[in-house]
Amino acid sequence: MPEKETDSGTNLYKYRDLKNRQKKRICVIQFITETYRKRRYPAFSYLNAGKGKKILFFLKTSLYNSKMEGGFEVREKTSAVLSNSLRPRPDVLVTCRYQGKDNLLAVTCAANAGYDPPMVIVGIVPSRYSYHMIKESGVFAVNLVTEEMRDIYAFAGSKSGRDMDKFQALSLTKRECVKIDAPFLDIAPVAIECKVTGSIRTGSHEMFAATIEYVHADKELVDEKGFIRFSKLHFLTFKELP
Largest CA distance in the chain: 102
**Whether 120 and 185 share a structural domain:** yes
**Whether 96 and 197 share a structural domain:** yes
Global pTM exceeds 0.85? no
In a domain, 177, yes or no: yes
194 pLDDT exceeds 70? Answer: yes
What is the average pLDDT value for the chain, to the nearest integer? 82
**Whether 202 and 144 share a structural domain:** yes
Q: What's the domain range around 140?
A: 92-232
pLDDT the model gives residue 11: 55
CA contacts within 13 A on the Cβ side of 23: 6
In a domain, 35, yes or no: yes
The 10s digit of each residue's pLDDT in 210-237 is 999 999 999 999 999 999 999 999 999 8
**Whether 47 and 123 share a structural domain:** no
Closest CA to 137 of 179, 182, 176: 182
**Whether 216 and 176 share a structural domain:** yes
In a domain, 82, yes or no: no
Here the CATH number for the domain that contains residue 208 is: 2.30.110.10
Helix (H, G, I), strand (E, B) or coil at 207: strand
146 pLDDT exceeds 50? Answer: yes
E strands along the chain, which residues?
66-69, 72-75, 92-98, 101-107, 110-115, 118-124, 139-144, 174-176, 183-185, 190-202, 205-217
Distance in angstroms (rounded) separating the CA atoms of residues 12 and 232: 61
**Whether 107 and 224 share a structural domain:** yes
pLDDT the model gives residue 89: 81
pLDDT the model gives residue 37: 54
**Whether 68 and 97 share a structural domain:** no
Q: Are 209 and 202 in contact (CB under 8 A)?
A: no
40, 112, 138, 139 from 133: Cα distances, Å: 44, 22, 8, 9
In a domain, 143, yes or no: yes
pLDDT the model gives residue 39: 53
**Whether 40 and 113 share a structural domain:** no
**Whether 68 and 96 share a structural domain:** no
Count of domains observed in the chain: 2
pLDDT the model gives residue 145: 97
52 pLDDT exceeds 60? Answer: no
Distance in angstroms (rounded) separating the CA atoms of residues 27 and 184: 58
